[in-house]
Amino acid sequence: MRRRLLPLVILAILSLAIAAVAADKDPPRTNDGRNVYRTEAVRAYVEGFEGAFPPAGWTQTITNPAYTWVQDTATPYEGAAAAYIPWQAGIPQYEVLSFDYLIDSAANEDHLIFATQGSVYWAVNANFTVEVGGVEVYNFLNEFTAGNWIWDTVDVDLSAYDGQTVTIAFIYAGDDGADHYLDAVSIDEGAPPPPPPPANDLCEGAIDLQAQGLDEFVVDLCLAADDYSAPSGGCTGYSSAGKDLVYKIHLDLGETFSASMQGTHDAALWLVTDCADAANTCVAGADDTVSEGYETITYAAAAAGWYYMIVDGYGDDSCSTTTVNIAALVSNEDASWSDVKSMYR
Ligand SMILES: [Ca+2]
Ligand SMILES: [Ca+2]
Ligand SMILES: [Ca+2]
Ligand SMILES: [Ca+2]
């Protein structure tokens, strides 16, 4: 008996799978791999629909009691539950979840962020919109791009409402649409400002390799800006439009300096005598390999003085976390390893 049923069960599963195409009105009722947790910003307020429904402090406007917003645990965006509304044909729905919030300009708490999913295909019939103070600030049909039944986050800038208490309303309205979801409603502080560039982003802040005793170090070039580019066809053979950091070293006449760098980007390494005129004073450079490759320069000082090493990359604003190796200096008088001068002099 069981064996005879098995093909029928398989057929049923297959037909269900085939039905789950773009025009499906119901989402897949599983949550495999889609419970993504957000970490990108500080939340000043969050409602994840985990507890009482509607949540404390929220208002629910109901016109179709059998098909309105409810708590649902089948496919939350995060946590164990989300707000969910089933579709209905023949009886129009205008179902609203709303809450009031003081948009605090002082704390920069002026981003409304929420996760939603639904069917863009069926939103033509019944759409999901968000209003702030009665003004539409989000339209699922027009703005959602992640696809049908894929959770995605929406970020609405509320800075225009700084200092005001506003009603934020999530509205599902229409007839014969598709199921819709809402979760992780939050008022976030703005994204944290980017970290300041490293002190040695520019020549003025060049790090003294010897004073710092640096012989091997790892540095994230992505924190830097592209300020210097080797001349095309010049000392590295190519321009270097990648993000760059600057190091300096004092060399005696004839002293040989050797350094290498390696990262996941197409690295470029060059040494100049006048950092303010880097492109025209390059004395050694290397851009011989592509990503993951080692670039190595070796230079015997033609004059005593300061030299500036620019740790760079070929591609526009290219960068990676890069390992830099500085070989011990070799003096002019006797270029043998027995006469290697310490970096830590
Ligand atoms: Ca939740
Ligand atoms: Ca720079
Ligand atoms: Ca550069
Ligand atoms: Ca390279």
Q: Phi first, then psi: what are they for 168, rounded to 5°?
A: -105, 120
Residue 56 lies in a domain: yes
- 179 in the same domain as 30: yes
Rounded Cα distance between 283 and 260, Å, is 15
- 160 in the same domain as 59: yes
Query: What's the N-to-C CA distance of the chain in angstroms?
Result: 87
- 310 in the same domain as 219: yes
Please give the residue range of the domain that contains residue 259: 199-341
Residue 335 lies in a domain: yes
* CATH code at position 156: 2.60.120.260
User: CB neighbours of 194 closer than 8 A, spacing ≥ 6?
Assistant: none
Cα–Cα distances (Å) from 93 to 99, 117, 179, in that order, read 20, 18, 12
User: Which regions in the chain score pLDDT beneath 50?
Assistant: 1-4, 6, 8-21, 30-40, 335-345
Rounded Cα distance between 273 and 46, Å, is 55
CA of 268 to the centre of ligand 4 (A): 5
- 304 in the same domain as 242: yes
Residue 8 lies in a domain: no
**Cβ contacts of 194-200, under 8 Å, gap ≥ 24:** 195/223, 197/223, 197/224, 197/225, 198/223, 198/224, 198/245, 200/245, 200/246, 200/247
pLDDT, residue 203, reads: 96
For residues 335 and 230, the answer to whether their CB atoms sit within 8 Å is: no
Residue 175 lies in a domain: yes
- 281 in the same domain as 325: yes
pLDDT, residue 191, reads: 58
Residue 178 lies in a domain: yes
Into how many domains does the chain fold? 2
Residue 133 lies in a domain: yes
Tens digits of residue pLDDT in 33-43:
333 434 445 67
Last residue within a domain, chosen from 164, 188, 212: 188
Cα–Cα distances (Å) from 60 to 6, 97, 149, 245, in that order, read 45, 5, 24, 56
- 225 in the same domain as 331: yes
Report the b/e string of 224-257 with b at 16+ CB within 10 A. bebbbbbbeebbbbbbbbbbbbbbbbbbeeebbb
- 204 in the same domain as 126: no
Last residue within a domain, chosen from 129, 158, 188: 188
Closest CA to 50 of 86, 85, 78: 78
Say if strands 207-208 and 305-313 run parallel, antiparallel, or are unpaired: unpaired
Residues with CB under 5 A from ligand 3 (ion): 226, 228-229, 240, 242, 244, 312
The helix (run of H) or strand (run of E) holding residue 16 is helix 2-19
- 288 in the same domain as 256: yes
- 91 in the same domain as 31: yes
- 203 in the same domain as 332: yes
For residues 189 and 125, the answer to whether their CB atoms sit within 8 Å is: no
CA of 293 to the centre of ligand 4 (A): 7
pLDDT, residue 106, reads: 59
Rounded Cα distance between 47 and 38, Å, is 13
pLDDT, residue 339, reads: 45
pLDDT, residue 245, reads: 97
- 169 in the same domain as 64: yes
* CATH code at position 207: 2.60.120.380
pLDDT, residue 20, reads: 45
Closest CA to 40 of 254, 224, 186: 186
Which ligand places an atom closest to the C-alpha of 265? Answer: 4
Last residue within a domain, chosen from 141, 158, 188: 188
CA of 191 to the centre of ligand 2 (A): 24
CA of 238 to the centre of ligand 4 (A): 9
- 251 in the same domain as 277: yes
pTM value? 0.51
CA of 199 to the centre of ligand 3 (A): 16
CA of 169 to the centre of ligand 1 (A): 18
CA of 78 to the centre of ligand 4 (A): 43
Rounded Cα distance between 159 and 110, Å, is 5
CA of 39 to the centre of ligand 2 (A): 29
For residues 26 and 119, the answer to whether their CB atoms sit within 8 Å is: no
